[in-house]
Amino acid sequence: MAAAPPKSLGNIRRSFEPWSDPAAKPLIEVDRVTKSFAGFKAVDDLSLAIHPREFHALLGPSGCGKSTLLRMLAGFETPTAGDIRLDGRSLTGVPPHRRPVNMMFQSYALFPHMSVEKNIAFGLKQDGMARSEIADRVAEMLKLVKLGPFAKRKPQQLSGGQQQRVALARSLAKRPKVLLLDEPLGALDKKLREETQFELMDLQQELGLTFVVVTHDQEEAMVMADRISVMRDGRIQQVATPAVIYEAPATRYVADFIGNVNILDGTVESVADGRVRIATDAGAVEVEGANGVRSADPVAFAIRPEKMRISRTPPERADVNALRGEIWDIAYLGDVTLYNVKLATGNVLRSTVINAHRGIADPLTWDETVWLSFPSDAGIVLTA
Amino acid sequence: MTAVPDNSPGQRTRRRPSRLSRGFVVAVPYLWLLFFFLLPFLIVFKISFSQTAIAQPPYLPVIGLADLVSGGWTKLRQLTIDNYTWIAGDPLYVKAYLSSLRMAAISTALALLVGYPVAYGIARAPRSIRSLLVMLTILPFWTSFLIRVYAWIGILKNEGLLNQLLLWLGVIAQPLTILNTDVAIYIGIVYSYLPFMILPIYASLERMDHRLVEAANDLGCPPTRAFWAITFPLSLPGVLAGIFLVFIPAVGEFVIPDLLGGSSTLMIGKTLWDEFFSNRDWPVSSAVAVVLLMVLVIPIMIFQRLQARQEGAV
Amino acid sequence: MKHWSGFNIASVAVGLAFLYLPITILVIYSFNASRLVTVWGGFSTHWYGELFHNQGLMDAAWVTIRVALLSASVTTVLGTMAAVVLNRFHRFPGRLLFSGMVAAPMVMPDVILGLSLLLLFVSLDLDRGFWTVVLAHITCTMCFVTVVVQSRLVSFDRSLEEAAQDLGCPPWKAFFLVTLPVIWPAVAAGWMLTFTLSLDDLVIASFTSGPGATTLPMKIYSQVRLGVTPEINAVCTILIAIVSLGVVVAALVNRRQEQRRARDERLAAQ
């Protein structure tokens, strides 16, 4: 297990982190929930606490159980075992139409026979709200999602982005305690998706709501969420802020799923003063602050490409945290350049260099022998 | 992925089949239909303005191709609208038209009442057995119409199985007279045309995204209300298709009123048949056919408009 | 949809019972030993034996089958052509009239169709009989093939045909080598549909048939008017058996193909 991080990870200071306050009461408590379909466990003994006003992302590949978990929160699926509580009250047996949560569907599920206005008003009508009040609220929602001129249109007459906003407005109209979003941006093209991510965040801030979003797009989760639950095979691998997920992944799976990572397998040689020395097949590495491992433990050393320095000359200490190899591939991406470096042992490691200047003298080229070096706090030790 | 639109002129000409084969493919069915479908109607139309005659064929004037070329005028002046005034003046025909429409409407309503729950039930059945249920619904349609109508005679008649069952159960003391009444016709029509009601409704329900109902539930709408707010309105195209598919043929139905109806039953299909085969009055039966067609033209056109819109929407 | 509620199950069950009960009763009573059709007198296949000695019925059956085979085959060709025309040719003179004429027979009462065709044959001075019934059936059932084939053509991927043409196939050949094999199930379904429609038809045949060409439904009808008889029950049972067998076999073949396709797709996905 990764140790409690010594420094604040990432370059953000968060003012909102109720999950680290033991006295804070979570809004949603998923308590050892299992959901089986014909013997297959889509969600397996899963527990999770989500706090008021949190933007929480359930992240994982398709089939990891994230959608099933969301549908259990909405009430469309019943847990096979375990309990889900909202505000301390169990939701077991509460049908979807009585739950104070609303969902934005992946396909939007806009009612094709109703205008934009009617779609937004639908939920309010179910509550028996007064006509004038409904009209006011609908107008407010239309303004919020900037769709005023389209109120009378049918969903089919709107673009994908507009439909997405109608769906959002409809699910927000009832001011739910929790808004569930199932791949909310999945149907949008890349550019629109990036814009909408920030819009969603602003909206959530403005309304002070709790959002639970399901996504398979790690970048989307990193951009929007306060905390991310990385899921795999019906279980949660790690729940943490995007910075922690990236800088201190709990498992090899998480490290690999989020961003790029170089992983070297090895064995712990020695542990002293909170420094761990690992013998990998590519060479010896030393890591700071990896508690809980003992000599001779099999472990993996993980380091992100941007945390390695690439140079023609060997570093001061070449016996540890320095690996020699030759440049195998170069990819110029504009903001960064990727170098794939092949070590004598055959391992290929990736290093990225930020292109802070428009031009540099004497750049690296293919087949050059280079050194990859890194400080002892750059990488982490993975035991799972 | 969407298909690439073929608006480049070069591609168009390349793809277009050669003129000759294209002309052939259009001409054969076109000429066939002109000759065997449109021409007969024109003939019916013409004969409906002719006079009855004791001759072979039993009407006057007989206009041949030669007459069209030369000197057909005197013959054309023999045409009359007597047959239509006769139909309009005889309450029997007027009543027959009206009662056909009424009985078709009642049967259609009953078929909808019976068919909708079945279609809904099939649409909600587990996916694995859904196609089997659809097949079971279609299967009776493949067996002879005549046989299916005939099967009801043995059930509905006074000493038939239904009465035997009801008497045995003690529900009734005297056998009910069902056969040869309008009730028997309703049963017959509903029975014969039920698949036509079920299938389009099923198709529209099956096509529907069930997430719409979930979304309604999610927004606070209980299941029963969600049915009337979402499911039913979205199945309306299917319902309308079903209504027309039952109503239109039911109006002109002959076999069912003939076999299950009584002597007092008036349906225009049967009237036409009797006029033609029993009275051998070809001009009047032609006029009856023309009027029946006029009566049906409006629902048929509405139906085709609906179908076209449906296809346009897909 | 996961809740197949009791109400759903009940309505499907009642609906199917309503559809099948009368036919089932008819089949059962065809094995009734008693001549009284509503009193059960024990099991017997007597009436089936009787049937094969009824020359009139056998002749009618033979006529009907010939009419149905011939008319279904011609109809399938014509109906497929009409479907191709409607699906592919969007502009030619009189397209509206054409599409109207294709669709109209489907919703037109049989009595009108029968009467109008009869009057045509009379005007042409054609002797009514076997051939006039065939012509009438072709005309009245064409629309069904067109509808079935057209709905398949709508979902047919035109790029297949384009690929064939790109590889040097002239359009008509591309149709026979590529399109037709792909839409074949729909064409076959159209054939089966028109075959059974022709087999069943009473009204149009009654109008357009002449001496010596009495079809089975006409024969059955003339006897049914006199009342329910066990022989007719037996004839009907045989017809039902033939048609059900055909439909079930077709469905099984279809299903086998679907399963094979599903398996192929699974293999492809691996």
Condensed to tens digits (0 to 9), the pLDDT of residues A168-222 reads 999 999 999 999 999 999 888 888 888 899 999 999 999 999 999 999 999 999 9
What's the confidence (pLDDT) of residue B77? 65
pLDDT exceeds 70 at position A6 = no
Query: Going by C-beta distance under 8 Å and a sequence separation of 6 or more, which residues neighbour residue B225?
Result: A126
Condensed to tens digits (0 to 9), the pLDDT of residues A267-326 reads 999 888 888 999 998 888 999 876 688 888 899 999 999 999 999 998 888 888 999 999
pLDDT exceeds 60 at position C225 = yes
What single DSSP character describes residue A84?
E
Residue B278 sits in a domain of what CATH number?
1.10.3720.10
Block residue for tokens 């094995």? C31
Burial of A226 (0-12, 13-18, 19+ CB in 10 A): buried
Q: Kindly state whether A6 is in contact with chain B, defined as any CB-CB distance less than 8 angstroms.
A: no
What single DSSP character describes residue A319?
S
Low-confidence winner among B28-37, B106-115, B154-163 (lowest mean pLDDT):
B154-163
In a domain, B171, yes or no: yes
Q: Is residue B11 very low, low, confident or very high in pLDDT (cuts 50, 70, 90)?
A: very low
Give the residue among A284, A35, B147, A115 at the shortest CA–CA distance from C202. B147
Structure tokens at B202: 């099923």
Query: Going by C-beta distance under 8 Å and a sequence separation of 6 or more, which residues neighbour residue B306?
Result: B237, B240, B241, B244
What's the confidence (pLDDT) of residue B314? 42
C132 or B297: which leads in pLDDT: C132
Report field, pTM of the whole predicted structure over 0.80: yes
In a domain, B162, yes or no: yes
Per-window interface: B 280-309 vs C, CB < 8 A: 282, 285-286, 289, 292-293, 296, 300, 303-304
Chain-wide mean pLDDT for chain A?
91
Burial of A144 (0-12, 13-18, 19+ CB in 10 A): middle
Give the residue among A186, A146, A182, A187 at the shortest CA–CA distance from A166. A146
In a domain, B7, yes or no: no
Structure tokens at B244: 């027309």
Minimal Cα–Cα distance from A97 to chain B, Å?
Answer: 4
In a domain, B33, yes or no: no
Query: Rounded to whole angstroms, how far apart are CA atoms B274 and B251?
Result: 16
In a domain, B242, yes or no: yes
C259 or A164: which leads in pLDDT: A164
Chain C: touching chains (3 or more CB pairs < 8 Å): B
Give the residue among C97, C65, A54, A125 at the shortest CA–CA distance from B216. A125
Structure tokens at C87: 């699906």
pLDDT cut 90: percent of chain C above it: 33
Q: Is residue B4 very low, low, confident or very high in pLDDT (cuts 50, 70, 90)?
A: very low
DSSP 3-state percent helix, strand, coil across chain A (nearest 5): 25, 35, 40
Query: Rounded to whole angstroms, how far apart are CA atoms A75 and A30?
Result: 13
Cα dihedral C186, C190, C191, C196, rounded to 10, equals 140
Q: Kindly state whether A95 is in contact with chain B, defined as any CB-CB distance less than 8 angstroms.
A: yes
Low-confidence winner among A216-225, B2-11, B150-159, B211-220 (lowest mean pLDDT):
B2-11
Structure tokens at A355: 């292109």
pLDDT exceeds 80 at position B62 = no
Low-confidence winner among A50-54, A282-286, A310-314, B59-63 (lowest mean pLDDT):
B59-63
Minimal Cα–Cα distance from A109 to chain B, Å?
Answer: 5
Parallel, antiparallel, or unpaired: how do β-strands A178-182 and A101-104 relate?
A: parallel
Residue extents of the structural domains in chain C: 54-269
A9 phi and psi angles, rounded to 5 deg: -85, 145
Query: Do A312 and A372 form a contact (C-beta atoms < 8 A)?
Result: no
Query: Going by C-beta distance under 8 Å and a sequence separation of 6 or more, which residues neighbour residue A185?
Result: A164, A192, A193, A196, A197, A200, A215, A217, A220
Condensed to tens digits (0 to 9), the pLDDT of residues C100-131 reads 888 888 878 889 999 999 999 988 888 889 99
The mean per-residue pLDDT over the stretch C129-141 comes to 95
Angle between helix C6-29 and helix C230-269 axes, rounded to 10 deg: 140
In a domain, B24, yes or no: no
Interchain CB distance below 8 Å, B292 and C103: no
Best residue in B204, B208, B219, B232 for a mutation probing chain A (most A CBs within 10 Å): B219
Query: Rounded to whole angstroms, how far apart are CA atoms C188 and C250?
Result: 9
In a domain, B167, yes or no: yes
The mean per-residue pLDDT over the stretch A128-144 comes to 93
Query: Based on the structure, what is the number of domains in chain B?
Result: 1
Residues of C in contact with B28 (CB under 8 A): 78, 81
Give the residue among C243, C211, C196 at the shortest CA–CA distance from C59. C211
Condensed to tens digits (0 to 9), the pLDDT of residues A337-382 reads 999 999 988 899 999 999 998 888 888 999 999 999 999 889 999 9
Count of C-beta atoms within a 10 Å radius of residue A164? 24
Query: Going by C-beta distance under 8 Å and a sequence separation of 6 or more, which residues neighbour residue B206?
Result: B123, B130
Domain of residue B238 covers 87-313
Q: Does domain C54-269 have CATH number 1.10.3720.10?
A: yes
The mean per-residue pLDDT over the stretch C188-217 comes to 90
Minimal Cα–Cα distance from C86 to chain B, Å?
Answer: 9
The mean per-residue pLDDT over the stretch C18-32 comes to 89
pLDDT exceeds 70 at position C239 = yes
Span between the terminal Cα atoms of chain C, in Å: 28
Block residue for tokens 């299909």? B269
Amino acid of residue A343: L
Of B36, B122, B147, the CB nearest to C239: B147
What single DSSP character describes residue B16?
S
Query: Rounded to whole angstroms, how far apart are CA atoms A340 and C30?
Result: 84
Please state, in angstroms and as integers, the Cα–Cα distance from residue C210 to each residue in A173, C124, C128, C257, following that order: 73, 15, 5, 43
Amino acid of residue A76: F
The complex scores an ipTM of 0.86
Of B211, B222, B230, the CB nearest to A97: B222
DSSP, collapsed to helix, strand or coil, labels residue A58 as strand
Q: Kindly state whether A175 is in contact with chain B, defined as any CB-CB distance less than 8 angstroms.
A: no
What's the confidence (pLDDT) of residue C3? 64
Count of C-beta atoms within a 10 Å radius of residue B215? 30
Per-window interface: B 146-205 vs C, CB < 8 A: 146-148, 150-155, 157, 159-161, 164, 191, 194-195, 198
- Count of H-run helices and E-run strands, chain B: 17, 2
DSSP per residue over B153-190, as a string? HHHHSTTSHHHHHHHHHTS-SS----TTSHHHHHHHHH
Q: Considering only alpha carbons, which residue of chain C is nearest residue B209?
A: C1
Interchain CB distance below 8 Å, A174 and B219: yes
pLDDT exceeds 60 at position B3 = no
The mean per-residue pLDDT over the stretch B121-144 comes to 87
Cis amide linkage into residue B61, ω under 30° from 0: yes
What's the confidence (pLDDT) of residue A101? 93
Query: Rounded to whole angstroms, how far apart are CA atoms B185 and C216?
Result: 24
Query: Do B215 and B229 form a contact (C-beta atoms < 8 A)?
Result: no
Structure tokens at C54: 């009824």
Block residue for tokens 């008036």? B266
Of B211, B217, B220, the CB nearest to A174: B220
Query: Do A213 and A105 form a contact (C-beta atoms < 8 A)?
Result: no
The mean per-residue pLDDT over the stretch C138-154 comes to 92
Give the residue among A1, A180, A14, A25 at the shortest CA–CA distance from A88. A25
Query: Going by C-beta distance under 8 Å and a sequence separation of 6 or more, which residues neighbour residue B279?
Result: none
In a domain, B46, yes or no: no
What's the confidence (pLDDT) of residue B7? 43
Please state, in angstroms and as integers, the Cα–Cα distance from residue A293 to each residue in A233, A237, A384, following that order: 27, 20, 12
Span between the terminal Cα atoms of chain A, in Å: 7
Query: Rounded to whole angstroms, how far apart are CA atoms B216 and C192?
Result: 43
Interchain CB distance below 8 Å, B259 and C225: yes
Chain-wide mean pLDDT for chain B?
83
Chain-wide mean pLDDT for chain C?
86
Q: Is residue B1 very low, low, confident or very high in pLDDT (cuts 50, 70, 90)?
A: very low
What's the confidence (pLDDT) of residue A1? 43
Interchain CB distance below 8 Å, B217 and A75: yes
Residues of B in contact with C29 (CB under 8 A): 154
Low-confidence winner among B49-53, B208-212, C44-48, C233-237 (lowest mean pLDDT):
B49-53
Condensed to tens digits (0 to 9), the pLDDT of residues A10-25 reads 777 778 889 988 889 9
What single DSSP character describes residue A216?
S
What's the confidence (pLDDT) of residue B18? 61
Question: Which H or E run includes A190?
Answer: helix A190-207
Interchain CB distance below 8 Å, B217 and A174: no
Cis amide linkage into residue A5, ω under 30° from 0: no
pLDDT exceeds 80 at position C200 = yes
